[in-house]
Amino acid sequence: MIRKVIRGSAPAVVFGIGGLLLWEFAMRFLAPESFVLPPPSEIFVAFIEDFDTIWQATKNTGYIVVTGLIAGVILGVVWALLVSRFRLADETLTPLAISVNAIPIIALAPIFNAWYGTLSPVSNQAIVIILVFFPVFINTTKGLTTVEATELELMRSYAASRWEVTKTVRIPNAMPLFFTSLRIASSLAVIGAIVAEYFGGRQDALGPLIVQNAAFTQYPEAWAAVAAGSMMGIVLYLISGGFEKVAMPWKADVDTAGL
Amino acid sequence: MSETVHAAVEISNATKVFNPGKPNEVRALDHIDLSIEDASFVSLIGPSGCGKSTLLRLMGALTHPTEGEVAINGKSADQARLDRDYGMAFQTSGLFDWRTVTQNIELPLQLMGWSKSDRKARAAEMLDLVKLSEFGDHYPRELSGGMQQRVSIARALSFRPSLLLMDEPFGALDEMTREHMQTEVLDIWGKTGKTIVFVTHSIPEAVFLSQRVIVMSPRPGRIALDIAVDLGERVFETRESPEFFDKITEVREALRFKGDSE
């Protein structure tokens, strides 16, 4: 098991370390004046020195990301269930979802700040929710509605009710697409939260930390905060993948039976 | 169970028109009369577009006739569906990926409110019938195509419907697996005494399996010929017997005649 994990991740680790070394080398020897993009070693040092500040900022941003992500995913799933179940919901809520998605969402940030107060986290959460719900909604709806005709006819021959069809066929059928959208949503949530924080919300969060450090030309510190955001995204992505494995055992690696 | 002498399937004067009144109107079935005896094995055969699947779907209440009547066990097809009088198997096995083999077989029983222990017992019995006892905990995608079809037949039979409707269930299997499955399905038919209606486009398959082969012709879908097949008990040698080839020739002639008349 452990050997399998090591073997599976070895190429990525080698590639990553190689990339960082190349970056370090390029910055040190090829472009020594380029302080805008510091070498990774300086970013690492800044990360360690500023750890307390970065950790606090990561926790604050993480709160926005996780709460917004959960609310947005719930909204997307409920919306998808309604649309796939009721024709009227499909005819009204689907165009609404598409219209909401067409809004340049970041452009709403200053408006939300005006609504909820510049230092309130609510406007940031609202941005994350709106950003996250759409991919979840679109993918889950597709999964709920693209069921094979044979499967529906079988359920009909069992005289199954609509709810039984939803529960035993449509929802499991939607799981792979739902989890794909969850992975997309988890990364989007981090992006949405940090960019929303540029415009307002708590000041001890990753967004403001990046802005302030960049403004004072403290690029290693700014990059260290960016790295913290990336790590948050990766962790959320991995957690989404973990849920996926647990929720869909039939997709897990299998020993093929005899024939 | 019941003492009634209703035919398993009684179709009178059934016509099915798709898209009536539109430019793409299709008369899939034209004034079909067909009576199928209880506990018999009947095949529907014909070229693509002859309406054989539509006829099967009428029996299963998956579609309704434009004109005419369909009665299953003396009831309307819809009532028979609600009474769960028939099991279905299709060309694609229609197994649910997310359920193990046992859970797939248990699905209709679960919908019918069976207790967990009764479901388990029946699923085990069905797996034994289709000779897949060791595979109960596997997921469908771990099984070969032939095994998947056996599971789908086990599922169709799990709640003991009186009528089994099969729509080209072996169409996607290779020839050897197919012959093996034919023997299996005859074995199951002998053990369970179900009425089986079997749609196929393979002449040897129809002849080997059935007591009656209904030859259909297309545009509009009609019954061209109703051929009785009496080959006694089917064994390995049946496929090599002159009687078997005679019947195959008879069915082929019936199909060819219709094709050439266009």
3-state secondary structure chain B: CCCCCCCCEEEEEEEEEECCCCCCCEEEEEEEEEEECCCCEEEEECCCCCCHHHHHHHHCCCCCCCEEEEEECCEEHHHHHHCCCEEEECCCCCCCCCCCHHHHHHHHHHHCCCCHHHHHHHHHHHHHHCCCHHHCCCCHHHCCHHHHHHHHHHHHHCCCCCEEEEECCCCCCCHHHHHHHHHHHHHHHHHHCCEEEEEECCHHHHHHHCCEEEEEECCCCEEEEEEECCCCCCCHHHHHCHHHHHHHHHHHHHHHHHHHCC
Interface contact flag, A257 B143, Cβ < 8 Å? yes
Nearest CA in chain A to B158: A158
Q: What is the DSSP letter of A29?
A: I
Q: Does the pLDDT value for residue B13 go beyond 80?
A: yes
Mutate to test the interface with A, among B57, B58, B92, B96 (most CBs of A within 10 A): B96
Q: Which residue of A has its CA nearest to B177?
A: A259
CA distances from A198 to A47, A191, A193, A218 (A): 20, 11, 9, 17
Query: A259–B107: do the CB atoms touch at under 8 Å?
Result: no
Tokens of B161: 């419907």
- CB of B72 closer than 8 Å to CB of B34: no
Q: Give the chain B residue nearest A174 (alpha carbons).
A: B98
Average pLDDT, chain B: 88
Q: Which of B92, B96, B138 sits opposite A257 (nearest CB)?
A: B138
The helix (H) or strand (E) run that includes residue B18 is strand B9-18
- Nearest chain A CA: its distance from B251 CA (Å): 29
Report how far residue A140's alpha carbon sits from residue A148's, in angstroms, rounded to the nearest whole number: 16
> For residue B199, which residues of chain A lie inside 8 Å, CB to CB?
none
Q: What is the mean pLDDT of residues B93-121?
A: 93
Higher pLDDT, B108 or A106: B108
A-B C-beta contacts closer than 8 Å: 64
- Per CB distance under 8 Å, which residues of B are interface residues toward A? 60-62, 81-82, 84, 86-88, 90, 92, 94, 96-100, 107-108, 111-112, 135, 138-139, 141-144, 146-147
How high is the pLDDT of residue A113?
Answer: 84
- A122 token code pair: 């609510």
Chain B interface includes A259 (CB < 8 A): yes
* pLDDT at residue B1 in the model: 47
| Beta bridge mates, B197 | B42, B165
**Contact at 8 Å (CB) between B90 and B158?**
no
Is residue B257 over pLDDT 70?
no
The pLDDT profile of chain A, 259 residues, written as one tens digit per residue, is: 677 777 777 888 888 889 888 888 888 787 766 666 888 888 899 899 989 999 999 999 999 999 999 999 999 999 999 998 888 888 888 888 888 888 888 788 888 888 888 788 899 999 999 999 999 999 999 999 999 988 999 999 888 999 999 999 999 999 999 999 999 999 999 999 999 998 888 888 999 999 999 888 888 899 999 999 999 999 999 999 889 988 888 876 544 443 3
Residue A34 has a pLDDT of 63
In angstroms, the separation between the Cα of residue B178 and the nearest Cα of chain A is 15
Residues in B touching A150 (Cβ below 8 Å): 90, 92, 94
Task: Quote the pLDDT of residue A32.
Answer: 65
Strands B222-228 and B212-217: antiparallel
Best residue in A146, A150, A173 to probe B by mutation, most B CBs within 10 Å? A150
Q: Above 0.85 for ipTM, yes or no? A: no
CA distance B95 to B103: 10
pLDDT at A140: 95
Option in B88, B111, B146 nearest A153 (CB): B88
Q: What does the pLDDT read at residue A8?
A: 74
| Per-residue pLDDT reduced to its tens digit, B177-211 | 888 888 888 988 888 888 999 999 899 999 999 99
pLDDT band for position B45 (50/70/90)?
very high
CA atoms within 13 A on the CB side of B111: 27
d(CA B197, CA B156): 13
Residue A35: the pLDDT is 65
What's the average model confidence in pLDDT over B166-179?
Answer: 86
Q: Which of B198, B219, B217 is nearest to B209 (CA)?
A: B198
Higher local confidence (pLDDT), B107 or B256: B107
Local confidence band at B4 (pLDDT 50, 70, 90 cut-offs) = low
Torsion angle in degrees (nearest 10) through CA of A170, A171, A177, A182: 160
Look at residue A106 in the predicted model and tell me its pLDDT: 79
| Contact in structure between B94 and A151 (CB atoms under 8 Å) | yes
| Residues in B touching A248 (Cβ below 8 Å) | 98
Question: pLDDT tens-digit profile of B121-157?
Answer: 999 988 988 888 999 999 999 999 889 988 998 898 8
Q: Would you state the pLDDT for residue B174? A: 84
